[in-house]
Amino acid sequence: PATILAGVAQAARNGVLVKGGAHLENLGRIKAIAFDKTGTMTHGKPEVTDIVAFQASGRNEADVLS
């Protein structure tokens, strides 16, 4: 509880809204994250580091980028 509160407070100081401790705890299990292109990230300078197509989609990197 104290560590969760500290984590939520630290995130808020850095401009990130975390709606509850459960979401903060789930961050440790995240393997990938996706943002849409309509302004989800409006601060900073995001940079694409990897492009991964879901295997079940049958698409490759070129398909995803087109």
Residues annotated as catalytic (active site), given as ranges: 36
Q: Are 59 and 53 in contact (CB under 8 A)?
A: yes
